[in-house]
Structure 1
Amino acid sequence: VRDFVGSFNFLGTVYQHSERRDRLGNWVPQDPSAAQLRQSLTEFAVLPLGSPFVRARTPIVRSLLLYGPRGSGKTMLVSALANETGALVLNLSPSNLVGKFAGKTGPTKLVHMAFLLAKAASLQPIIIYMDECEQIFAAGGGGKKGKAAAAANAEGPVRFKKDLLLYIKAALEPTDRVLVVGTTADPGAAEVKDLRNFFDKFLHVPYPDYASRVLLWKHALRSTIAAHAATLGLSTATTAAALAAASSSSSAASTAMASASQQQDRRREPLDISTLAHISEGYSSGSIVRAVESTLTPRRVECLEKRLLREEEFLGALSRQTATFADDHEKFKAFTAIITGLKDTRDKLRKAAADALNPDDKKDKAGGKGDKKGKKGKK
């Protein structure tokens, strides 16, 4: 779990007590930091799965949903949970079930076998993994479109929803070290009621903030350089010089990579990590890592001793990555407000405030209903 790179939100308390509102005047909760995600996963998943003592004495968490943009690290976190606990992973993702377990009894057979296997004490801990779970809990429609969608989903992932909702509550005991983990990049496509009935905890895996992006750039640069250096068989000195190019410390890099004359001609930091962190705002963690990997080719790593790494080298690779920060962020904020009940609370408060400001309107509505009932009685 510690490999999930990200920083602690040091201004979280200040933000929490400040009046931050969106364009509609709604208070907006802050996104969780990487440190908070690591802590929550440790409390909800790692400790209960790894220790029967903890599992039996803590509130049971049967299922967990990780939602966030593509490339934010959701699948990596599931792998980290399995690695930390030594858990067996049962992959029930829609992509893994295409064309399998057809017929009316097929979904029931699969779900029954999965939970029967999960309850085997000799195989626990077990993680039941569902990627793109919005396809399983897809929202249905009414009318002709709803009937057409139902016919199209007769052999689709939605057919597993009924049995999953039944088994998640009936099959697992508090002592079973089993956790169902779902991931989604489009939570709005799922039925909110079904998600609430199935998942016990919801964790938002957001875009990395500035502090996390700084750590992410450094980690991606160092790990990519070290991997290529090991493959190429570079010497220790050459590897150290290459790693110094990814450092924001000008003194360390100039000592390892530049001569005295070069230091006089070029007095600048080898790589401005802060600038890279600023221009990569709105990009997911995966986009940043892919930009680094496509820029730092084995040939480029070999040349780091002679040619320092520059910020503009990453611009082309970064521009080819997908960045939809504004649209996705609004989508995930709206889902967070719905799934946490914040939207319902806002609506109730606004309705109560409107009734308090206009008590006559409320009386008129009540009187109108009474008149209608009276007329019906006369008939």
Structure 2
Amino acid sequence: MYKKLDTCYDQIVHPQKSRSLRVLLDSIMGRIVELKHEMSDLEKTEFQPFDDIIQDLKITPDDVSLSVPRYYIHGRSESYTVRQKVLHQMIEQMDAESKTKDGEKPSMNLDEAIKVLQMHERARQGRLRAKFMWELSMEEERKRKISKGLKVLSEADAATMVQKKWRGYIARQKTKKARSEELTFIGMRPGEARPVETDELKKAKDTEDIRRERLKKHEIDYQRALVDIKQNLYVSKGPAIKEELQDQIRQWFIECRDNSGKFPDYPDEEEGGSAKLFVNKTPEEIEAEIKAKEEAKEAKGKKGKKGGKDKKEKKEKKGKGKKGKDKGAAEEDPGWKMKPSKFNEDVDGRLTDYDTRWKFRDESHNVSQRHDEEIIKEEKILEVEEELRKEVDVIMREELENLKAALDKDKGKKGKKGKKGKKGKKGKKGKKGKKGKKGKKKGKDLTADRTPESLYQELIKQGIIKRPERVMLEDYLGEFSYLGTTLRSMQKEGQPSTWDIKQMLTLYGILPLGSETVHENAPLVKSMLLAGPPGCGKKLLVQAMANEVGANLFDLTPENLVGKYPGKSGLKMLIHMVWKVAEIFQPSIIHIGNAEKTFYKKVPKAEKPLDPKRIKKRPAKADERSKSWQTHPTRGNEQRPVYDKIVMVPRPCYGDRKIIIEKRIYDKLEEIQTAFIDFSSLAKMTDGYATSQIIQVINDTINERRLNQVGRKPIKTEEFIVELAGHQPIFAEQEDAFTQWFEKTPIGKKRKKILSPDEGGDVGKGAKKGKGGGKKKKK
């Protein structure tokens, strides 16, 4: 449902339908996030295996994978493009300045320049002389062999030799072609999963881009129509609406005067003004009001009859309550119930809107799918009425005061001017009190005299705001976990797969960061710790998320803060600037690499210049679309309660490695040039190595020099082994240390208790016995 709505919202060019779809799409995104939190709280784990469900429903992992909404990229605002231009320009300027500084060399005088030229010219002449002498020696050797009577081949023998070589070449080509056709037939051709850019796909992409451009043009026309139609309604129907409202209010004056003998008090603007008087009520609401009034009258008459009956009733109720409790205790636990969703109202509203407005609407004349003027008139007439009502209220209040004054004059009474003044004073006092409270909440702004743009530029110059590398979430390559359910049936907790990690980051990070609706209503994840061995893609995930949602990337890694904003005042200014800029230019991601260093009990001597403990805990506000993403696990237990979510990013499994190796090699070589590479064997040999190490081995093996030789000397599997031997793998002890650390986290403990409840029970009993056995301890 989410994927289909995402496609609809991306491709529908009708501006009014597009708005309804946006609300519905955001609501469903928020509902999916709610479901993820519910599943996480229920199972005490962030990863749920879907392999059994996929098998039962006969679908693929791609069918249930959550992609990033398309409007996150195609519907970005102009402010984002302006920020990106400023960021690119300043970084390029800083790079140019650093290059000029590094490239400055002492000037060379004329004599030194002549010596350098002479040296290179002599070397060139020497190479030419050596080549000439080699050719002479080869010619002399050939003549010497001929003079000794070396056998010269006849034409027939020479032709036979050429034929033999040619037939061997043709046979090898035929064998290679037959092997390729066989692999294609059985569906095991290497590299066949690579998407091929066909003419049809290219045409479809061009059509999608055309529709997006058409929606932008229709949106401009729609915004212009909103203003024009509202102005026309003011001119054409405004006087009639105003006169009708005045007549209704005057009629109300007369009816109240006839019923009570005096004019009523006019409702204040805060209470809704005259809109409060003419609220359309259903017959059921009117009957409920009449019943409530009758019950209130009966209650007043029966006040004196209360006493002993109430006490008896209370006793009976208490007795019933106790019995009910006993019954409930005897019954079984009703089980888990899902919390009510905050997005149901929006979804129901959009469905009702469709049924009442679009379902039976004839749009055969609107082939180009432009805005519908009748719908705009229906919406704008209400706005015109509301604005005119406020104007009418001002006029009718004065008219009512005049009527009251005239009536009091006839009766010989004075006007009530004193009360009016008191009301105004009270209102002023209330306003002052509110302003004072707001001032206390905001606190002191350390950069009140500076513009947000200047703060943004300063943070770029200091290297705090960085440009993320051009990677997306799809560049984090890996496989789906097909054995998750099997492992859980064996009471084992497997490592999360690449697919699981991408899904979790999409739900907890990308969807709330990119959508205000999801951020405001769905459960909020303020900070997350990405833990795992080095080189497994933690930093890539942070940069990919920043690119997916167009977020600012703040780098508060201890190594990046060395020498920047020194002292307590400098640190205070840095934190203030970062959070102020992050709040103004939302969404934002704050990245702290090597997060465990900020929680050192005692800083090692080698890392004292970094001062890693400068950055303290500072949670994000609920209304800020900024998140803190730390990478690398802690060496202690101090920081576990700081993070809302902790994710283990493991080293790649066999399936992940095979996909990474194929993708990287095919980016460098053509399919024919990979005939002698066994990808499966390479994936097995790289077991234990991190993703960055595998990529580095491929880059070092297939370098520029080796690429030039591929035509006459194909690359073989053995060449990668030589480079792989120079890297140190991630040993089992190191990976076990990460697993043991994760089991001590809050969610790890809860999950372990679910998997092995007996162990948790034994620990609890032991603790109770230890407390009671004080004499044994003394002995």
Asked if Structure 1 and Structure 2 have the same fold, meaning a TM-score greater than 0.5 normalized by the shorter chain, the answer is: yes
| Matched pairs, number | 303
Structure 1 partner of 2:126: none
- Does residue 62 (structure 1) correspond to residue 468 (structure 2)? The answer is no
- Of residues 47, 54, 67, the one that matches 2:511 is 47
TM-aligned CA deviation for residue 314 of structure 1: 0.2
- Of residues 631, 640, 646, the one that matches 1:202 is 646
Structure 1 partner of 2:665: 221
Would the alpha carbon gap of residues 274 and 350 (structure 1) be closer, same or farther in structure 2, given more than 3 Å must change? same
Is the Cα contact below 8 Å between 1:108 and 1:160 reproduced in 2? no
Would the alpha carbon gap of residues 137 and 354 (structure 1) be closer, same or farther in structure 2, given more than 3 Å must change? closer
Would the alpha carbon gap of residues 51 and 364 (structure 1) be closer, same or farther in structure 2, given more than 3 Å must change? closer
TM-aligned CA deviation for residue 116 of structure 1: 1.6
- Of residues 521, 534, 548, the one that matches 1:84 is 548
Given residue 13 of structure 1, which amino acid in structure 2 is its aligned partner? T
- Does residue 127 (structure 1) correspond to residue 589 (structure 2)? The answer is yes
Structure 2 partner of 1:287: 693
Given residue 156 of structure 1, which amino acid in structure 2 is its aligned partner? D
Is the Cα contact below 8 Å between 2:479 and 2:498 reproduced in 1? yes
Deviations 1:234-283 (A, max 9, x none): xxxxxxxx33333xxxxxx5xxxxxxxxxxxxxxxx21111101010000
Aligned positions of 1:78-227 closer than 5 A: 78-120=542-584, 123-138=585-600, 140=601, 156-161=611-616, 165=617, 167-168=618-619, 172-184=620-632, 187-189=633-635, 191-197=636-642, 199-225=643-669
TM-aligned CA deviation for residue 306 of structure 1: 2.7
Given residue 195 of structure 1, which amino acid in structure 2 is its aligned partner? R
Is the Cα contact below 8 Å between 2:531 and 2:631 reproduced in 1? yes
Structure 2 partner of 1:228: none
Aligned equivalents of 2:770 and 2:625: distance in 1?
53
Is the Cα contact below 8 Å between 2:538 and 2:631 reproduced in 1? yes
Given residue 43 of structure 1, which amino acid in structure 2 is its aligned partner? L
Would the alpha carbon gap of residues 367 and 57 (structure 1) be closer, same or farther in structure 2, given more than 3 Å must change? same
Structure 2 partner of 1:249: none
TM-aligned CA deviation for residue 224 of structure 1: 3.3
Aligned equivalents of 1:59 and 1:351: distance in 2?
29
Would the alpha carbon gap of residues 245 and 327 (structure 1) be closer, same or farther in structure 2, given more than 3 Å must change? farther
TM-aligned CA deviation for residue 97 of structure 1: 0.5
Query: Which structure 1 residue ranges, 5 or more long, are not aligned?
Result: 21-28, 141-145, 226-241, 247-252, 254-269, 373-379
Deviations 1:116-143 (A, max 9, x none): 21111xx1111111111111122x1xxx
Is the Cα contact below 8 Å between 1:136 and 1:157 reproduced in 2? yes
Is the Cα contact below 8 Å between 1:5 and 1:212 reproduced in 2? yes
Query: Which structure 2 residue ranges, 5 or more long, are not aligned?
Result: 1-472
Aligned equivalents of 2:566 and 2:767: distance in 1?
58
Aligned equivalents of 1:357 and 1:77: distance in 2?
43
Given residue 488 of structure 2, which amino acid in structure 1 is its aligned partner? Q
Question: Secondary structure of 2:631's partner?
Answer: strand
Structure 2 partner of 1:31: 495
Amino-acid identity (%): 30
Structure 1 partner of 2:536: 72
Would the alpha carbon gap of residues 365 and 96 (structure 1) be closer, same or farther in structure 2, given more than 3 Å must change? same
Deviations 1:257-313 (A, max 9, x none): xxxxxxxxxxxxx21111101010000010000000000012322332332221110
Structure 2 partner of 1:7: 479
Question: Secondary structure of 1:218's partner?
Answer: helix
Given residue 656 of structure 2, which amino acid in structure 1 is its aligned partner? S
Would the alpha carbon gap of residues 181 and 188 (structure 1) be closer, same or farther in structure 2, given more than 3 Å must change? closer
Question: Secondary structure of 1:128's partner?
Answer: strand
Is the Cα contact below 8 Å between 1:207 and 1:283 reproduced in 2? yes
Given residue 176 of structure 1, which amino acid in structure 2 is its aligned partner? E
Given residue 647 of structure 2, which amino acid in structure 1 is its aligned partner? L
Aligned equivalents of 1:304 and 1:365: distance in 2?
77
Aligned equivalents of 1:124 and 1:354: distance in 2?
47
Aligned positions of 1:300-311 closer than 5 A: 300-311=706-717
Structure 2 partner of 1:330: 736
Aligned equivalents of 1:362 and 1:155: distance in 2?
45
Aligned equivalents of 1:219 and 1:284: distance in 2?
16
Would the alpha carbon gap of residues 244 and 62 (structure 1) be closer, same or farther in structure 2, given more than 3 Å must change? farther
Aligned equivalents of 2:628 and 2:765: distance in 1?
45
Aligned equivalents of 1:192 and 1:354: distance in 2?
20
Given residue 96 of structure 1, which amino acid in structure 2 is its aligned partner? N
Aligned equivalents of 2:770 and 2:526: distance in 1?
44
Would the alpha carbon gap of residues 158 and 218 (structure 1) be closer, same or farther in structure 2, given more than 3 Å must change? same
Would the alpha carbon gap of residues 348 and 112 (structure 1) be closer, same or farther in structure 2, given more than 3 Å must change? farther
Given residue 303 of structure 1, which amino acid in structure 2 is its aligned partner? Q
After TM superposition, the structure 1 stretch with the greater mean CA deviation from structure 2, 107-116 or 200-209, is 107-116
Q: TM-score under structure 2 normalisation?
A: 0.36
TM-aligned CA deviation for residue 354 of structure 1: 6.7
Task: Point out the structure with the larger helix share.
Answer: 2
TM-aligned CA deviation for residue 107 of structure 1: 2.4
Aligned equivalents of 2:710 and 2:563: distance in 1?
50
Q: Specify the structure having the higher radius of gyration (Cα).
A: 2
Aligned equivalents of 1:155 and 1:213: distance in 2?
35
Question: Secondary structure of 1:119's partner?
Answer: helix
Question: Secondary structure of 2:663's partner?
Answer: helix
Q: TM-score under structure 1 normalisation?
A: 0.72
TM-aligned CA deviation for residue 366 of structure 1: 4.4
Would the alpha carbon gap of residues 14 and 312 (structure 1) be closer, same or farther in structure 2, given more than 3 Å must change? same
Is the Cα contact below 8 Å between 2:512 and 2:518 reproduced in 1? yes
Given residue 274 of structure 1, which amino acid in structure 2 is its aligned partner? S
Aligned equivalents of 1:365 and 1:293: distance in 2?
64
Question: Secondary structure of 1:10's partner?
Answer: coil
Question: Secondary structure of 1:203's partner?
Answer: strand
Aligned equivalents of 2:638 and 2:758: distance in 1?
22
TM-aligned CA deviation for residue 353 of structure 1: 2.5
Aligned equivalents of 2:659 and 2:767: distance in 1?
53
